[in-house]
Chains A and B, each alone.
Chain A
């Protein structure tokens, strides 16, 4: 047996979700070192008040990958990222309820008025989520040709890159501002506490302990 103080890494996303996550981490008793809060700080791994727990601050899109490969044993990842990568090695045992939004198909308003989605056989879609998009359309018998973009999907239709997009919306104001109309919802998205499968199997008590702490923190919020 390896000692219980073996290092444990928690991967957390930079940006928007982090703001919502910090209170939960505090409630769960995790206090990152001061440098963690410094947006200019270049380092990616931070110590915490818990001796064997370090925190990785990475792009939200990379968290599932870090956890799948066991580099981080636990992490906080959006359901969108989990659906896109679909790693069998990642368990998502706890819905933290933060970062709530929806993943939708949208198209330009003019198109929307005369279009009947039943008739689609092939669509070209700009998206950050080519896998989810392909799967979603394939399930309803439509072939999706995806144009992979990493941001600014909303502007693609008006520029003539494609006529439809698949993206996350929270209030819908970005769609509105870009002359887009929602066609259908693919999934409701929230952030999940995710766990590496091998870590869950080989360090069960420790990992379950953290799941319980985050669950209590979520319920207290």
Chain B
């Protein structure tokens, strides 16, 4: 048999999630979404596949190269399988929910598919949960969106949580003032992304000093803000530093024990963000727990040609990474129920959180019943009107 004939083999980056992990995963997703719902974020559910332009325009451009495409035989148009859900929610906000009053709060959960996994996340299909706060550019919105993400992550027990804040437009704005060939521009951007101070000093021209000091400014929020306020950044986008300060302060007041770091030059993955961006980390976990930031939702071309777009901020959490860091939950106790037991009493047991597994056949004797109960993964057996621990 060649490996192609083995039905168990799945394409690279795709996997079956089995018990008990599948139930655990579903529970985590609902708990996260529940926190957002409790803050007034209404759930939306976009389709898995839609026309390519909708998925890859605006912020969707970032995942365009990772989007699976297929030809729709019906409309003869190219469709894409979503590689990220933010673009879909933005589309909904701009079109079908365009007439709802702002700020608009939406949340979502679903699977996404990507052509390539990354080194750290080889999975090509994974689950996202997220929330978007649309129609306001205020610092209060930046603070709220980060705060509810933190609240939801703490509620499911993510240990050592920290949030890293960045100003994605800062480095591009600084570099726009330099006279660089396209090749040198990308080389310098790469060096900044890698925090390669040596290379930046070599090719950073008149900004070498400014950029190096910005890189040295990464770290704990108070240290970073000190460094940043000591820097003269004439070419920095106006207001972004003040906004960062306001967000750090606001978060500090709202969630006093939160670890906040600042990395003013962090830019990877934030190519389409227009204001404060953030990444969630858990100490000891190599991957990101989630990320998000401020962006602009472009108006639907057909309706408003001259529109400026709508400010929005939001985040996406990565369920696979979250599952790696949170402690495994205890499974509910499982009781084996022999044939002929009192249905109402057993139903009451389920209401109390028990899992009941019904026998389909009569057992010969108590010993047989216990063996069968074990085979069904039960710790208890229903005996004399109550669950009894199996010896």
Contacts and interface: CB of A to CB of B under 8 A. Distances in A.
Contact of B286 (A2, A70, A139, A205): A70
Given A69-B286, A204-B219, A91 B194 contact: yes
A87 interface: yes
B146 to A, nearest CB: 15
Given A87-B119, A88-B268, A1 B259 contact: yes
B220 interface: yes
A164 B55 CA distance: 44
Contacts of B119: 68-69, 87-89
Nearest to B160: A2
A1 B160 contact: yes
Contacts, number: 76
B287 interface: yes
B286 A198 contact: yes
Interface in A158-202: 192, 195-196, 198, 200-202
A183 to B, nearest CB: 20
A92 B199 CA distance: 10
A70 to B, nearest CB: 3
B337 interface: no
B55 to A, nearest CB: 23
B284 A94 contact: no
B198 A94 contact: yes
A88 B269 CA distance: 10
A122 interface: no
B120 A89 contact: yes
B87 interface: no
A74 B281 CA distance: 18
Interface in A200-221: 200-205, 208
A192 B199 CA distance: 11
A27 interface: no
A89 B120 CA distance: 8
Interface in A140-167: none
A205 B219 contact: yes
A200 B287 CA distance: 12
Contacts of A203: 283
A90 interface: yes
Given A1-B259, A69-B120, A201-B281, A89 B195 contact: no
Contacts of A208: 219
Contacts of A69: 119-120, 286
B279 A201 contact: yes
A29 interface: no
Nearest to B280: A201
A23 interface: no
A89 B286 contact: yes
Contacts of B215: 93
Contact of B284 (A2, A82, A93): A2
B287 A205 contact: no
Interface residues of A, number: 28
B114 to A, nearest CB: 15
Contacts of A204: 218-220, 223, 261
A2 B197 contact: no
Contacts of A68: 119-120
B368 interface: no
A45 interface: no
A95 interface: yes
Contact of A198 (B196, B219, B287): B287
A198 B285 contact: yes
A202 B160 contact: yes
A202 to B, nearest CB: 4
Contact of A88 (B160, B193, B263): B193
Contact of A92 (B120, B195, B285): B195
Interface in B266-301: 268, 279, 281-288
A196 B223 CA distance: 20
Nearest to A190: B198
B218 A200 contact: yes
B160 A198 contact: no
A201 B162 contact: yes
Given A69-B120, A198-B287, A93 B219 contact: no
Interface in A98-144: 139
**Best-buried of A92, A94, A204 by chain B (most CB within 10 Å):** A204
A95 B284 contact: no
Nearest to B162: A202
B262 to A, nearest CB: 9
B164 interface: yes
A82 B199 CA distance: 13
Contacts of B160: 1-2, 202
A94 B197 contact: yes
A91 B282 CA distance: 18
Interface in B184-204: 193-199
A93 B287 contact: no
A140 B64 CA distance: 26
**Best-buried of A196, A200, A205 by chain B (most CB within 10 Å):** A200
> Which 6 A-B residue pairings sit nearest by Cβ, starting from the closest?
A70-B286, A95-B198, A204-B219, A91-B195, A202-B283, A93-B195
5 contacts: A6-B283, A89-B120, A95-B198, A204-B218, A205-B219
Given A2-B159, A93-B196, A198-B288, 6 more contacts: A1-B160, A6-B284, A91-B195, A92-B194, A200-B195, A202-B282
